[in-house]
A and B are shown apart, each in its own frame.
Chain A
Amino acid sequence: MFETILAFFRAIGHQVTAAICRLGRAVRFFLSVFWLSGTAFRRFHLTIREIYFSGVLSLIIILVSGLFVGMVLGLQGYETLQRYGSSEALGVLVSLSLVRELGPVVAGLLFASRAGSAITAEIGLMKATEQLSAMEMMAVNPIARVVAPRFWGGVISMPLLAALFSAMGVFGGWLVGVVMIGVDDGSFWSQMQAAVDFRLDIINGVIKSFVFGVLVSMIAVFEGYDSEPTAEGVSSATTRTVVTSALAILFADFILTALMFRGQ
């Protein structure tokens, strides 16, 4: 009986020390990524390659999801607004919900599962096949050569993808609201333009998507770099990337929204 209680506390202690060790490794890793980012910008074609892989290849999923999210918003928004006889406010509803919340958040979640997981798997596999160690043997720093370009590629891609998602969503909402249902085109746009503020809504949305880009890219490169160098380790690291990124995005979104939109 006494032994089991001791074992229980030992297990807790082990978990906590392991978590703190991991946190320490993460902080040291992030500092060295920033410290060694010079290469990513001096040899910018390395970063361009990563923008291609995480940005350009995510375009299709981002554009198609944005279109459908906007179209669903158009349908559902119209359904509710027409009960109160204010279906002209459809543009306001679609654009505000996309620019403020759905654009950055959904694009971030898609980005984490499309690009973040790929980054983790790639770095994890490079570690498992000892390519990273081989680079170190050749006096090439793998953080500067492999990690930093992937990190900055993700950070640059994410705000652009979120903007594309929002723009596509507004277009989808317009398609359903104006073209399909027949809400007045002029009031759709003019009410939207009267309600959406450039600094308060659009700039804050861009800030959000930038923060999510930093979070997802950080988590993805760290999980890959810190993964166990086995097939199983890489697969669990990839899963952890998607789960942790999703939680981090939603949590950060709450914090940012509380800071940006409180009492307005």
Chain B
Amino acid sequence: MKRTTLDLWVGFFVAIGFAALVFLALKVGNLSGNNFVDPYTLKAKFDNIGGLKVRGAVKSSGVVVGRVADIHFDPKTYEAVVTLTVDGRYSFPKDTIAAIYTSGLLGEQYIGLDVGGDEKMLKSGDAFFKTQSAVVLEKMIGQFLFGKAAEGQEKK
């Protein structure tokens, strides 16, 4: 086979190979979707983070506005400290509540920002004043059962 034809085929092969890699990176791995415009960090302390993981989504009104950058345990207050990276295009009032929700019944957990009405905005490095921990199913069932039992006694 002539060298030019060989070069052509190999060039074609390498090009579609790299195209496949780019497809995997952008369309499957969504490499492009994580780039927030000059992001800033916020901190939130939770009593219980449930199944929240690093790289989990931070949503406000259901729109992804950031990601969980780091989770660690504070040995002094016995609380979980979650560091969030939030898109610089969005700023949130000081009295915004950070809550941990679950997407769907079996879906992964994310942080929802319930926006408040304060006129001052949260700056980079600030911590949320109010947070709401993840719902632990066992506790909820326990409360429900105790509530039922209490109801039953009142009727007697």
| With A160-B18, A166-B20 as contacts: A202 and B13 at CB distance below 8 Å | no
> How far does the alpha carbon of A6 sit from the alpha carbon of B52 in the complex, in Å?
66
Q: Which 7 pairs, one residue from A and one from B, show the smallest C-beta to C-beta distance? A: A160-B17, A193-B30, A167-B20, A163-B20, A198-B29, A164-B20, A163-B21
User: Is A59 interfacial (CB 8 A cutoff)?
Assistant: yes
Contact A197 B10 (CB under 8 A): no
What are the residues of chain A within 8 A of B6 when measuring CB–CB? 45, 48-49, 52
- The residue from B10, B31, B104, B106 contacting A48, defined by CB atoms under 8 A apart: B10
> How far does the alpha carbon of A198 sit from the alpha carbon of B55 in the complex, in Å?
12
> How far does the alpha carbon of A194 sit from the alpha carbon of B21 in the complex, in Å?
18
What are the residues of chain A within 8 A of B10 when measuring CB–CB? 48, 51-52, 55-56
What are the residues of chain A within 8 A of B25 when measuring CB–CB? 198, 202
Q: A56-B9, A167-B28 are in contact. List 10 more A-B contacts (CB 8 A).
A: A48-B10, A49-B6, A52-B1, A56-B10, A163-B18, A164-B17, A164-B20, A167-B24, A168-B20, A198-B29
Contact A202 B106 (CB under 8 A): no
Q: What's the minimum C-beta distance from A47 to chain B, rounded to whole angstroms?
A: 9
What are the residues of chain A within 8 A of B27 when measuring CB–CB? 189, 193
Q: How many residues of A contact B (CB 8 A)?
A: 33
Q: What is the 8 Å Cβ interface bit string for chain A, positions 42-81, against chain B (1 contact, 0 not)?
A: 0001001101100110010000000000000000000000
What are the residues of chain B within 8 A of A205 when measuring CB–CB? 24
| With A48-B6, A166-B24, A167-B23 as contacts: A160 and B29 at CB distance below 8 Å | no
What are the residues of chain B within 8 A of A160 when measuring CB–CB? 13-14, 17-18, 20-21
Contact B3 A196 (CB under 8 A): no
In the complex, chain B residues 49-87 whose Cβ is within 8 Å of any chain A Cβ: 55, 57
**Chain A CB within 10 Å, residue with most, of B10, B25, B55:** B10
Which residues of A come within 8 Å of B, CB atoms?
A: 45, 48-49, 51-52, 55-56, 59, 84, 86, 95, 99, 157, 159-161, 163-164, 166-168, 170, 189, 192-194, 196-198, 201-202, 205-206
User: Is B121 interfacial (CB 8 A cutoff)?
Assistant: no
| With A95-B28, A170-B28, A189-B27 as contacts: A197 and B17 at CB distance below 8 Å | no
> How far does the alpha carbon of A194 sit from the alpha carbon of B6 in the complex, in Å?
40
> How far does the alpha carbon of A168 sit from the alpha carbon of B57 in the complex, in Å?
29
> How far does the alpha carbon of A161 sit from the alpha carbon of B10 in the complex, in Å?
12
Q: What is the 8 Å Cβ interface bit string for chain B, positions 10-42, against chain A (1 contact, 0 not)?
A: 101110111011011101111101000000000
User: Is B119 interfacial (CB 8 A cutoff)?
Assistant: no
Contact A194 B30 (CB under 8 A): yes
